[in-house]
């Protein structure tokens, strides 16, 4: 039996494993995807908003060639962290079942069953996109993740959204030869929280007409060849080859529900936890990182949730 099992091999899950190791506690890390799976799924040319020092964990220096580190540099860094601390996470192994026992929990995957006294949930939020919930969303041309611009060369592209991911997708596809790029935006303007170097760029491209934009717009239907949407004064239908629905993502609430974690009665569906220990309402279950914010996924980042690891591990150690 382990002192803890950590679900999620992202930066915060790795930080929890390092903290456990430093305190002499036994642990295992499981992830249904690859190492730092959320970062892996970022666009290939993505640049972080933060500086590299704010992404560091485990006292391993993060040296970047740029003022802001790139996705590729982050992947290299977290591989190095994992090797340095010999964390040995169990990757591509999804924990699917949970059973409460007298001594703790038994967790099950397709590969086996594992006993633990405590569970740390550090699953992030990038695996479950917000859906448009419109006819045609299941068509192959609709993508909820964007990786690189090449597949969209000489294509008519619709980008849905006005946050960082939408802006990056619109600018890259425009500059790499998309036939046309149209942004369909529910809000009245480009998001105020868009990276400071990208926001003026997208605003200028829209003002000059290089990228089309419809504000206060809502998609009504996606067809194999077009997209239909409404603005306050008019209905529109434009030809289209691909829809990049950059509408954001949400945590895996079903995992928390399986464990019996309760949620606050608020619009953000925030899970219940004690900020002093990060313990949920379920004895032995702790929450770490972005998952703590519920639907408010911009509350916690690597930079300000690294401290969750030390808090949780100290709380677990204090029980012995």
Q: What share of the chain is helix, strand, coil (3-state, %, to 5)?
A: 25, 25, 50
pLDDT at 250 over 90: no
pLDDT tens for 162-190 read: 999 999 999 999 999 999 999 999 999 99
**Average of per-residue pLDDT across 213-239:** 97
Question: What are the strands, taking DSSP E only, across 256-296?
Answer: 273-274, 279-280, 285-287
Determine phi and psi for 263, rounding to 5 degrees.
-125, 145
Confidence category of residue 126, pLDDT binned at 50, 70, 90: confident
Tell me: the pLDDT tens digits for 278-294? 999 999 999 999 999 98
Q: Which of helix, strand or coil describes residue 64? A: coil
Predicted pLDDT at 266: 86
Rounded Cα distance between 241 and 256, Å, is 37
Look at the block and give the residue holding tokens 């790795």. Answer: 14
| pLDDT given at position 213 | 97
Contacts of residue 212, Cβ cutoff 8 Å, sequence gap at least 6: 180, 181, 182, 183, 206
User: Domain residue spans in the chain?
Assistant: 4-128+249-317, 131-245
pLDDT bin (cut points 50, 70, 90) of residue 125 is: confident
Residue 251: its pLDDT value, please? Answer: 87
DSSP β-ladder status, 226-231 and 234-239: antiparallel
Give every CB contact of residue 24 below 8 A, 6+ residues apart in sequence.
Answer: none
- pLDDT in the model for residue 193: 86
**Longest C-alpha distance within the chain, in Å?**
66
Buried b (16+ CB within 10 A) or exposed e, 44-69: eebbbbeebeebbbbeeebebeeeeb
How would you label 267-296 residue by residue, b for 16+ Cβ within 10 Å and e otherwise? eebbbebeeeebbbebebbbbbbbbbbbbe
Q: What is the pLDDT of residue 252?
A: 87
Average of per-residue pLDDT across 20-37: 97
Q: Quick one: pLDDT at residue 303?
A: 87
Checking if the pLDDT of 16 tops 90, the result is yes
**What's the distance, Cα to Cα, between the start and end of the chain in Å?**
14
Q: Output Rg (C-alpha) for the chain, integer angstroms.
A: 21
CATH of region 131-245, choose from 2.40.30.170, 3.40.50.300, 3.50.50.60, 3.40.50.800: 3.50.50.60
The reported pLDDT for the residue numbered 301 is 84
Res 192 pLDDT > 90: no
Q: What is the pLDDT of residue 299?
A: 84
Closest by alpha carbon to 62, among 87, 81, 37, 88? 81
Mean pLDDT of 257-270: 92
Residue-wise pLDDT tens digits, 148-165: 999 999 999 999 999 999
Check if the beta carbon of residue 214 is closer than 8 Å to that of residue 236. Answer: yes
Q: What is the mean pLDDT of the chain?
A: 94
Tell me, yes or no, if the two domains 4-128+249-317 and 131-245 fold the same way: yes
3-state class of 228 per DSSP?
strand
HSE-up of residue 166 (Cα within 13 Å, Cβ side): 27
The share of the chain scoring above pLDDT 90, in percent, equals 84
Contact 231, 214 (CB under 8 A): yes
Calpha distance 216→267 (Å, rounded): 22
Q: Cα–Cα distance between 16 and 297 in angstroms, integer?
A: 20
Domain 4-128+249-317: CATH class, spelled out: alpha beta
Exposed/middle/buried for 150, CB within 10 Å: 0-12, 13-18, 19+? exposed
| Model pLDDT, residue 169 | 96
Give the model's pLDDT for residue 128.
84
CA neighbor of 211 nearest in space, from 173, 266, 161 = 173
Q: Which two tokens stand for residue 33?
A: 């995807």
Alpha helices in the chain (DSSP H): 11-22, 37-40, 71-85, 164-175, 199-207, 253-259, 302-305, 307-317
pLDDT band at 297; cut points 50, 70, 90:
confident
Pairing of the two strands 119-121 and 113-116: unpaired
pTM equals: 0.88
Is residue 127 predicted with pLDDT exceeding 80?
Answer: no
Flag whether pLDDT at 87 surpasses 90.
yes
Q: Is the pLDDT of residue 14 over 80?
A: yes
């Amino acid at each position: 039996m382990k002192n803890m099992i950590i679900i999620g091999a992202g930066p915060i899950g790795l930080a929890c494993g390092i903290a456990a190791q430093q305190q002499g506690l036994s642990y295992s890390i499981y992830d249904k995807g690859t190492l730092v799976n959320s970062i892996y799924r970022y666009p290939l040319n993505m640049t972080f908003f933060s500086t590299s020092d704010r992404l560091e964990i485990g006292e391993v220096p993060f040296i970047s060639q740029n003022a802001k580190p790139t996705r590729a540099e982050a992947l290299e860094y977290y591989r190095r962290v994992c090797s340095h601390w010999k964390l040995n996470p169990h990757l591509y192994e999804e924990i699917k079942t949970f059973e409460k026992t007298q001594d703790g929990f038994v967790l099950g995957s397709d590969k086996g069953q594992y006993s633990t006294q405590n569970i740390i949930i550090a699953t992030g939020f990038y695996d479950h996109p917000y859906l448009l919930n419109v006819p045609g969303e299941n068509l192959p041309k609709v993508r909820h993740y964007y990786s690189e611009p090449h597949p969209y060369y000489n294509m008519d592209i619709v980008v849905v959204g006005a946050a960082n991911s939408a802006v990056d997708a619109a600018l890259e596809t425009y500059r790499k030869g998309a036939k046309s790029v149209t942004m369909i935006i529910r809000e009245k303007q480009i998001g105020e929280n868009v990276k400071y170097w990208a926001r003026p760029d997208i605003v200028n491209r829209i003002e000059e007409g290089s990228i089309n934009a419809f504000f206060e717009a809502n998609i009504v239907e996606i067809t194999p060849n077009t997209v239909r949407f409404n603005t306050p004064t008019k209905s529109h239908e434009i030809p289209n080859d691909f829809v990049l629905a950059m509408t954001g993502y949400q945590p895996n609430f079903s995992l928390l529900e399986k464990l019996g974690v309760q949620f606050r009665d608020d619009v953000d569906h925030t899970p219940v936890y004690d900020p002093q220990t990060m313990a949920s309402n379920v004895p032995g279950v702790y929450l770490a990182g972005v998952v703590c914010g519920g639907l408010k996924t911009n509350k916690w980042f690597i930079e300000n949730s690294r401290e969750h690891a030390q808090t949780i591990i100290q709380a677990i150690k204090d029980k012995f």
